[in-house]
């Protein structure tokens, strides 16, 4: 039996999309035979990663030109996480269940957040819209309309990467102290 | 004047914050409040429409909730019986430290020794005195266990419904304290072999073995039976309360600890971005590598290209040409403009297009990059805006002085 939706799956994954439950048939097809897809993609030189959080993506070790996008997305997410925590929202709930409005996001309301965002060239509401659109393309969020969105499980790739930053900084500080 | 109990309770419910404060006596040593103290309190705690201090005092007095203080005609206090009732209700909402149970258990150990001594001496009066104290101790311990259980459940409900108005960090500290200061300690007390288990086993031993000497005394068998029942009920209830509270709190604690960890990490990263700028996010980029590959690049895959070329040039009897070595100019790799367009679309808005092209396609020849830059602009496919300020871009071969062009996908 042939692998279902192979073309569409490959097209999505190779463009940097993370496939999760919102991708319907594509996700279902991958779920049915992840090992077979993985072996096939491996032959083509792509590594299919199945996350335990319920999504698939291509390891993009050869990715190029996306650093600025990931920077901006990461900062967008980290500000959201901090703000939610300060306002008594559980992160798991806020990321897992909440319907959010871009217009209600705190990113441009606080001087401190604006300062962080300026480091990655984000200064206007239009820039935030761009970030959201990129996140939608990559499968980190699902846009309901121009304003409303939900986070999707792949956003945990960004959230979990926090630890990498802290670890790198700790190593850097240790080296400086020696 | 006769008091209507339902009206009294309704009034007590409406004025509960005032009643609780006065019953607790935290506002002063004398436990009484003057009219001006009552006025200040209700200004803070009651809705604006209910702030007639004189009217409130009169209504409370008429309904038996306040009485004039013995110390002054212009001060009021909560009658003793009402204060006891209010304190009892309030204790159901507050956590009692496990130390309180420990001190009652010490008292139980002391009274067990007294009971044993009374049995050995056949002193029925002393035995009855120890019984009463032990009964009180067992009931107090059970009451604290039950009140703590209810208070914990109430706090958990407040956390779950987010009506506790705490930030995630405050919530984490609170639940951590609840877990470590109350539940863990309580677990050690009520568990098999814990302090409570030991004290109650000692008491059972005294009742069953030593008490046999007084078994024929009237009232002793009934008292022994009642005491054994109270011990059994305390053990079962304390165990059930502890495990039920643990069952409620464990998943919540785990989730809040996890969420708090994530939030603390995010805040730390933001702090680093504040100090070091966007460079602090480099490890994120290294970890979250996103695939970027397009079908247009398929034939730049060298093995496949070699294969296709090999097939095209295949002949069954190849004619061997002369052996010669030519100096071959390397063919510059061309930038795939289609891929470039896709990246522009993914980025949404690029403030300085030329600089971006050079930064993102560093491996290509400069001519190729400038050509691609030019060709994309000529496509008239994107929104562009030329900046009024001149910029400079230094490359290995040249310095470019130009007015940055902002490029954006969409209308």
Q: Domain map of chain A by residue range?
A: 6-58, 67-166
- Say if B301 falls within a structural domain: no
Domain A67-166 in the same topology as domain A6-58? yes
For residue B167, give the nearest of A58, A77, A86 by CB distance: A86
**Backbone Cα Rg of chain A:** 18
- B250 shares its domain with B103: yes
- B238 shares its domain with B353: no
* Both structure tokens of B262: 């994530």
Q: How confident is the model at residue B113 (pLDDT cuts 50, 70, 90)?
A: very high
Quick one: how far is CA A88 from the chain centroid? 23
* Both structure tokens of A159: 């959230």
The strands making up B383-386's β-sheet, listed across from edge to edge, are: B349-350, B405-408, B383-386
Span A68-83, average pLDDT:
91
pLDDT reported for residue B390: 80
- Whether the pLDDT of residue B15 is over 50: the answer is yes
The per-residue pLDDT for range B156-186, each reduced to its tens digit, is 888 888 887 788 888 888 888 888 878 888 8
Using the structure block, give the residue that is written with the tokens 């009642």: B226
Q: How many CB atoms lie within 10 A of CB A126?
A: 12
Rounded CA gap, B230 and B65, in Å? 35
Mutant choice from A164, A171, A173, A176 vs B, greatest count of B C-beta within 10 A = A164
pLDDT reported for residue B327: 45
Integer angstrom CA distances of residue B280 from A1, A133, B46, B115, B271: 48, 24, 50, 71, 10
Mutant choice from B271, B278, B296, B383 vs A, greatest count of A C-beta within 10 A = B278
Mutant choice from B263, B342, B360, B383 vs A, greatest count of A C-beta within 10 A = B263
* Both structure tokens of B145: 């266990």
3-class state of residue B34 by DSSP: strand
The per-residue pLDDT for range A27-67, each reduced to its tens digit, is 999 999 999 999 988 888 888 999 998 999 998 765 444 55
Residue of higher predicted confidence among B286 and A111:
A111
B275, B292, B326 - which closes a domain? B275
pLDDT reported for residue B31: 67
- B121 shares its domain with B230: yes
- B28 shares its domain with B79: yes
- B123 shares its domain with B22: no
The per-residue pLDDT for range B47-105, each reduced to its tens digit, is 666 668 888 888 888 888 888 887 777 888 888 888 888 777 766 566 777 778 888 89
CB B362 within 8 A of CB A64: no
- B86 shares its domain with B155: no
The per-residue pLDDT for range B238-281, each reduced to its tens digit, is 899 889 988 888 888 888 988 998 899 999 999 999 988 888 88
> Is A127–B349 a contact, with Cβ atoms under 8 angstroms apart?
yes
For residue A91, give the nearest of B165, B262, B274 by CB distance: B262
Q: Checking DSSP bridges between strand B399-402 and strand B391-394, what pairing results, if any?
A: antiparallel
Rounded CA gap, A28 and B217, in Å? 79
Q: Which residues contact B183 (CB under 8 A, 6 or more apart)?
A: B152, B242, B245, B246, B249
- B103 shares its domain with B70: no
Find, among A116, A118, A155, the residue nearest to B268 by Cα: A116
SS (H, E, C) B161-215: CCCCCCCHHHHHHHHHHHHHHHHHHHHHHHCCCCHHHHHHHHHHHHHHCHHHHHC
CB B186 within 8 A of CB B267: no
For B283, which residue in chain A has the nearest alpha carbon? A165
Picking from A151-155, B44-48, B73-77, which range would have the lowest pLDDT averaged per residue?
B44-48
pLDDT reported for residue B303: 46
**How many angstroms separate the CA of residue A152 from the nearest CA in chain B?**
16
Q: Which CATH architecture has domain A67-166?
A: Orthogonal Bundle (1.10)
- Write out chain A residues lying below 8 Å of B273, CB-based: 75, 116, 119
Using the structure block, give the residue that is written with the tokens 């121009």: A146
pLDDT reported for residue A109: 92
**What's the start-to-end Cα distance of chain A, in Å?**
60
Find, among B294, B395, B278, the residue nearest to B346 by Cα: B294
pLDDT reported for residue B135: 92
C-alpha torsion B310→B316→B320→B321, nearest 10: -60
Rounded CA gap, B203 and B112, in Å? 6
Q: Give me the CATH number covering residue B25.
A: 1.10.10.10
Rounded CA gap, B252 and B258, in Å? 10
> Is B289–A63 a contact, with Cβ atoms under 8 angstroms apart?
yes
The ipTM value here is: 0.89
Span B345-366, average pLDDT:
83
Rounded CA gap, B145 and B137, in Å? 12
- Write out chain A residues lying below 8 Å of B262, CB-based: 81, 91, 159, 162
Rounded CA gap, B298 and B338, in Å? 13
C-alpha torsion B64→B66→B69→B73, nearest 10: -90
> Is B292–A121 a contact, with Cβ atoms under 8 angstroms apart?
no
- Say if B285 falls within a structural domain: no
**How many angstroms separate the CA of residue A30 from the nearest CA in chain B?**
17
Integer angstrom CA distances of residue B313 from B165, B227, B301, B320, B330: 76, 103, 18, 13, 21
- B75 shares its domain with B113: no
- B268 shares its domain with B382: no
* Both structure tokens of B279: 């460079």
- Say if B106 falls within a structural domain: yes
Domain that holds residue B403: 334-411
The per-residue pLDDT for range B211-227, each reduced to its tens digit, is 677 777 788 888 888 99
CB B298 within 8 A of CB B304: yes
Find, among A82, A110, A104, A108, the residue nearest to A95 by Cα: A82
Using the structure block, give the residue that is written with the tokens 């309904």: B63
**Phi and psi angles of residue B350, each rounded to the nearest 5 degrees, phi first:** -120, 115
> Is B168–A15 a contact, with Cβ atoms under 8 angstroms apart?
no
Residue of higher predicted confidence among B395 and B151:
B151
Q: Exposure of B137 by Cβ count < 10 A (0-12 exposed, 13-18 middle, 19+ buried)?
A: buried
A56: alpha, beta or left? (left if phi > 0; alpha if psi -120 to 50): beta
Rounded CA gap, A28 and A5, in Å? 10
- Write out chain A residues lying below 8 Å of B165, CB-based: 88
pLDDT reported for residue B94: 67
Rounded CA gap, B407 and B411, in Å? 11
Using the structure block, give the residue that is written with the tokens 């009506």: B163
Q: Exposure of B348 by Cβ count < 10 A (0-12 exposed, 13-18 middle, 19+ buried)?
A: buried
- B32 shares its domain with B154: no
Rounded CA gap, B259 and A84, in Å? 10
Find, among B61, B64, B43, the residue nearest to B53 by Cα: B43
Q: How confident is the model at residue A114 (pLDDT cuts 50, 70, 90)?
A: very high
A2: DSSP letter: P
Segment (H or E) for B314 = none
Rounded CA gap, B388 and B110, in Å? 90
Q: Total domain count for chain B?
A: 3
> Is A78–B255 a contact, with Cβ atoms under 8 angstroms apart?
no
- B55 shares its domain with B121: no
- B74 shares its domain with B116: no
Quick one: how far is CA B37 from the chain centroid? 37
CATH of A6-58, one of 3.40.50.300, 3.90.1150.10, 1.10.10.2250, 3.40.30.10: 1.10.10.2250
- CA A37-A38-A42 angle, to 5 degrees, is 115
Chain B, 164-183: which have a CB under 8 Å from a chain A CB? 164-171
Q: Give me the CATH number covering residue B203.
A: 1.20.58
């Amino acid at each position: 039996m042939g692998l279902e939706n192979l073309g569409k799956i490959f097209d999505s994954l190779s463009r940097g999309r993370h496939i999760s439950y919102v991708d319907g048939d594509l996700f279902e097809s991958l779920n049915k035979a992840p090992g077979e897809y993985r072996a096939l993609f491996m032959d083509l030189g792509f590594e299919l990663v199945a996350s335990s959080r319920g999504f698939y993506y291509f390891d993009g070790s050869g990715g190029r030109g996306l650093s600025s996008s990931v920077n901006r997305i990461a900062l967008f997410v980290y500000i959201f996480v901090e703000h939610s925590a300060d306002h008594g929202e559980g992160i798991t709930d806020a990321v897992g269940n909440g319907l959010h409005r871009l217009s209600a996001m705190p990113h441009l309301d606080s001087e401190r957040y604006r300062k962080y965002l300026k480091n990655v060239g984000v200064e206007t509401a239009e820039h935030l819209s761009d970030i959201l659109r990129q996140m939608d393309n990559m499968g980190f969020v699902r846009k309901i309309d121009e304003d409303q969105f939900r986070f999707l499980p792949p956003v945990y790739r960004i959230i979990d990467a926090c630890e990498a930053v802290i670890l790198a900084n700790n190593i850097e500080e240790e080296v400086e102290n020696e | 004047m006769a008091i209507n109990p339902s009206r009294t309770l309704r009034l007590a419910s409406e004025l509960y914050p005032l009643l609780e404060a006065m019953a607790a006596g935290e506002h002063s040593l004398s436990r009484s409040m003057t009219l001006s103290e009552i006025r200040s309190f209700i200004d803070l705690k009651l809705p604006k429409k209910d702030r007639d201090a004189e009217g409130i005092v009169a209504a409370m007095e008429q309904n038996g909730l306040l009485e004039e203080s013995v110390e002054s005609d212009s001060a009021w206090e909560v009658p003793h019986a009402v204060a006891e009732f209010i304190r009892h209700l309030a204790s159901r909402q507050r956590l009692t430290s496990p130390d309180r149970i420990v001190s009652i258990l010490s008292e139980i150990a002391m009274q067990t020794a007294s009971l044993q001594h009374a049995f050995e001496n056949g002193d029925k009066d002393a035995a009855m005195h120890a019984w009463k104290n032990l009964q009180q101790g067992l009931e107090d311990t059970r009451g604290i266990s039950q009140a703590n259980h209810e208070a914990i459940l109430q706090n958990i409900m407040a956390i779950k419904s987010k009506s506790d108005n705490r930030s995630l960090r405050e919530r984490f500290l609170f639940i951590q304290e609840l877990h470590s200061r109350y539940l863990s300690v309580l677990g050690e007390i009520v568990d098999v072999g814990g302090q409570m288990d030991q004290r109650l086993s000692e008491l059972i031993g005294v009742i069953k073995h030593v008490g046999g000497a007084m078994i024929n005394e009237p009232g002793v068998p009934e008292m022994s039976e009642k005491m054994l029942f109270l011990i059994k009920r305390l053990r079962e209830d304390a165990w059930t309360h502890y495990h039920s509270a643990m069952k409620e709190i464990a998943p919540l604690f785990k989730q809040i600890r996890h969420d708090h960890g994530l939030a603390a990490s995010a805040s730390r990263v933001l702090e680093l971005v504040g100090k070091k700028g966007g460079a602090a996010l480099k490890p994120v980029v290294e970890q979250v590598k996103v695939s970027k590959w397009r079908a247009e690049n398929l034939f730049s895959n060298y093995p496949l290209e070699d294969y296709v070329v090999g097939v095209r040039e295949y002949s069954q009897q190849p004619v061997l040409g002369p052996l010669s070595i030519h100096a071959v100019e390397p063919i510059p790799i061309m930038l795939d403009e289609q891929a470039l367009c896709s990246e522009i679309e993914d980025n949404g808005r690029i403030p300085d297009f030329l600089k971006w092209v050079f930064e993102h396609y560093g491996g290509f020849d400069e001519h190729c990059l400038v050509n691609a830059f030019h060709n994309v602009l000529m496509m008239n496919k994107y929104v562009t805006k030329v900046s009024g300020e001149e910029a400079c871009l230094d490359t290995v071969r040249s310095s470019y002085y130009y007015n940055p062009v902002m490029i954006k996908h969409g209308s």
